Amino acid sequence: MRDFTQGEVRREFDEGFPGVTGTQRITVVGAGLAGLGAAYELVRRGYEVTVLEARNRPGGRAYTLRSPFVDGLFAEAGAMTVTPGCHYTRHYLTEFNLALDQSDLVDTQFGFYTGSRYVGSDASSISEADLGLNDEEKGLGAWDLRDRYVKEFYTELMPDIAQDSWEPSERIRPFDQMTVWDALKGRGASDAAIDLLEPLFNEMTGGELRACSALSWLRLESGSHALGNSQGWAKIKGGTDMLPRAFATRLSGLIHYGKPVVGIEQNETGVRTTYLDGGRPMTILSDRLVLAVPFSAVRRIDLSRAALSAEKDASIRRLRYMSIVRVYLQMRKQFWDGTNIALSTDLPIKWVRDATPHQAGPRKILEAYVTGWRARMLSAMSEEERVQFVLDQIESVLPGARENFEVGTSVAWDTERYNEGGFILPEVGHSDLMPTIRQPEGRIHFAGEHAGYEPNGGAMTFALESAARTVLEIASTEVAA
Ligand SMILES: Cc1cc2nc3c(=O)[nH]c(=O)nc-3n(C[C@H](O)[C@H](O)[C@H](O)COP(=O)(O)OP(=O)(O)OC[C@H]3O[C@@H](n4cnc5c(N)ncnc54)[C@H](O)[C@@H]3O)c2cc1C
């Protein structure tokens, strides 16, 4: 089977997959964006597609919470931002006539809350707060520190760090053997500076600075998904779930909800998939299968007769995911000063933000976006305990929270049965793992954010890109089928 490069996938996709057509029966496991993207493109090209989805909704981590809120308020539990570099996401938004609005993460009123006081991100506020910066760092603001330790770092590694196709050169490969923490320490950053910097690249490291590959992080920071560069960032108007729902409408009748796959077998002639239907095991036969499920959830599927290579087996067991908990509190009214606040605190919840800065009505939703060990702690709480804990914490930063609180909810991605984690955590050595993760195994093809060409997770566009790759892989087998 052909091994497609990132550039080839992009070109074939942009040209509408010229010449791709087939009649094979394809089972797609998972109706997240990767599974939906693959199913949508294959159906249009003649393939006989069946999608098996464990949950009762499409979208997986593209998930908008509309309940228990009132007044039409909603909040994103997973994906929320579409950057200018989200090529595949933007393509489908245009195709399905879905509109974009400016991201809530643009023009935030960002600051720190540390030692029971508010500290702005500018140089004089940080200097006044005396947080323990070293002599070289004194007098710098948070964004200056970012320039010093992040921008200057990846700029020195240009052009290698920003090459089109991700395959580390000898020059940058060593950074894949060190953590973000060690790399920053190696540049002379004090602990206090790292604390101030971390929220500015929170998404990538997810609180896992001591595990995340410095190379993966630098790659992200040098590209259009970097948190430090929010220019052109957008969100899907009306909620992120509009995108998976648009796919699902077009695949109506082909997606079977509430059907968790529990086993996959393959031989030279086909694939046999076992799934549960109302608690009863059922099987479906197909020529090929697209496994569009995160590896954390794949680990629960019996693959002992799937004839996978030892390398694939090891990568399925090894890939880690970020721990992320998002807690939402609906407030009767805005009781704090400022608009679109985003606070990085030294509390166990870390982030507090206004999750509805541009939604209409007097009510608001405050969100705690919690990652890493803090998220693992919150994951161990019951839903009720989690909401109460976050409310108590927020009260100490924004007095009046308790008085205005109406209702709360949360999503702990570690405990979501069909995810068991947020997005991928590219650990030290991740660049060696990547080709194995996406490599097809016989009649089984691997799609999903984790199976992208880029070493960073956390983007719908990577899930959709991986779907496009599986379409080309399947088409390349058509003659031999
Ligand atoms: C907190 C958070 C914030 C994020 N922020 C952004 C952002 O701002 N912008 C952005 O672009 N992306 C963001 N992402 C990432 C984005 O949501 C994901 O990369 C993308 O949605 C992943 O799609 P996927 O199809 O690979 O996986 P998923 O969405 O996880 O889909 C997998 C599907 O497989 C199903 N499944 C699992 N096991 C089985 C089984 N045994 N049988 C059948 N079905 C099964 C699941 O139910 C699910 O529907 C964020 C993610 C999280 C968690």
Nearest Cα residue to atom 7 of ligand 1: 79
Instruction: Tokens 């299968």: give the residue.
Output: 289
Measured from the CA of 275, which atom of ligand 1 is nearest?
Answer: 42
The answer to whether the CB of 459 is under 6 A from ligand 1 is: yes
- Same structural domain for residues 194 and 248? no
pLDDT given at position 182: 97
Q: How far is the CA of 430 from the centre of ligand 1 (A)?
A: 20
Which CATH number covers residue 371? Answer: 3.90.660.10
Q: With the C-alpha atoms ordered 231, 237, 241, 242, is the resulting torsion angle positive or negative?
A: negative
- Same structural domain for residues 315 and 369? no
Measured from the CA of 463, which atom of ligand 1 is nearest?
Answer: 26
pLDDT given at position 201: 72
- Same structural domain for residues 265 and 309? yes
3 state SS for 293-358: CCHHHHCCCECCCCCCCHHHHHHHHHCEECCEEEEEEEECCCCCCCCCEEEEECCCCCEEEECCCC
Q: Please, which pLDDT band fits residue 100 given cuts at 50, 70 and 90?
A: very high
- Same structural domain for residues 99 and 117? no
- Same structural domain for residues 214 and 343? no
| Average pLDDT score over the chain | 94
Q: How far is the CA of 421 from the centre of ligand 1 (A)?
A: 9
Identify the residue with better confidence: 276 or 111: 276
Q: Which of 173, 194, 221 is the last residue of a domain?
A: 221
d(CA 315, CA 323): 19
The answer to whether the CB of 293 is under 6 A from ligand 1 is: yes
- Same structural domain for residues 118 and 197? yes
Question: Do 351 and 344 contact (CB within 8 A), yes or no?
Answer: yes
Name the residue of 323, 460, 470 to mutate for ligand 1: max ligand atoms within 8 A of Cβ.
460
Q: How far is the CA of 59 from the centre of ligand 1 (A)?
A: 7
Residue 227 resides in a domain: no
At 373-413, the pLDDT tens digits run 999 999 999 999 999 999 999 999 999 999 999 999 999 99
| Residues 6+ away with beta carbon under 8 Å from 16 | none
pLDDT given at position 166: 77
**How many whole angstroms from its chain centre is CA 463?**
9
Least confident segment among 85-99, 107-121, 387-401, 434-448? 107-121
pLDDT given at position 64: 98
Question: Do 431 and 455 contact (CB within 8 A), yes or no?
Answer: yes
Q: How many domains does the chain have?
A: 3
**Strand, coil or helix: 125:** helix
The answer to whether the CB of 36 is under 6 A from ligand 1 is: no
Which CATH number covers residue 23? Answer: 3.50.50.60
Q: Which of 415, 441, 465 is the last residue of a domain?
A: 415
At 228-249, the pLDDT tens digits run 667 789 999 999 999 999 999 9
What range defines the domain where residue 381 resides?
64-105+233-237+321-415
Give the residues across from 343 on adjacent strands.
Answer: 111, 352
Q: How far is the CA of 293 from the centre of ligand 1 (A)?
A: 8
Residue 420 resides in a domain: no
**Phi, psi dihedral angles at 396 (to 5 degrees):** -75, -20
Q: How far is the CA of 397 from the centre of ligand 1 (A)?
A: 32
At 123-181, the pLDDT tens digits run 999 999 989 999 999 999 999 999 999 999 999 999 999 887 778 999 999 999 999 99
d(CA 92, CA 98): 8
pLDDT given at position 479: 63
- Same structural domain for residues 96 and 123? no
Measured from the CA of 451, which atom of ligand 1 is nearest?
Answer: 26
pLDDT given at position 481: 47
Residue 392 resides in a domain: yes
- Report whether pLDDT(480) > 60: no
The answer to whether the CB of 83 is under 6 A from ligand 1 is: no
- Report whether pLDDT(452) > 70: yes
Measured from the CA of 419, which atom of ligand 1 is nearest?
Answer: 30
Give the residues across from 226 on adjacent strands.
Answer: none
- Same structural domain for residues 212 and 120? yes
What mean pLDDT do residues 316-321 have? 96
Overall size of the chain counted in residues: 481
Could you give the angle at which helices 310-318 and 430-438 cross, rounded to 10 degrees? 120
At 264-308, the pLDDT tens digits run 999 999 999 999 999 999 999 999 999 999 999 999 999 999 999
Q: How far is the CA of 58 from the centre of ligand 1 (A)?
A: 10
pLDDT given at position 268: 95
Least confident segment among 95-99, 104-108, 423-427? 104-108
- Same structural domain for residues 357 and 210? no
Instruction: Tokens 């803090």: give the residue.
Output: 374
- Same structural domain for residues 17 and 37? yes
- Same structural domain for residues 434 and 312? yes
- Same structural domain for residues 468 and 403? no
Residue 180 resides in a domain: yes
Residue 421 resides in a domain: no
Residue 481 resides in a domain: no
Measured from the CA of 77, which atom of ligand 1 is nearest?
Answer: 1
Q: How far is the CA of 62 from the centre of ligand 1 (A)?
A: 6
Task: Provide the token pair at 195.
Answer: 């604390």
pLDDT given at position 460: 97
What mean pLDDT do residues 427-448 have? 95
Q: What is the DSSP letter of 227?
A: T
Residue 183 resides in a domain: yes
- Report whether pLDDT(89) > 50: yes
| Proportion of the chain above pLDDT 70, given as a percent | 98
Residue 1 resides in a domain: no
pLDDT given at position 474: 98
The answer to whether the CB of 341 is under 6 A from ligand 1 is: no
Task: Provide the token pair at 323.
Answer: 């721990």
pLDDT given at position 429: 94
pLDDT given at position 457: 67
Q: How far is the CA of 32 from the centre of ligand 1 (A)?
A: 6
**Strand, coil or helix: 457:** coil
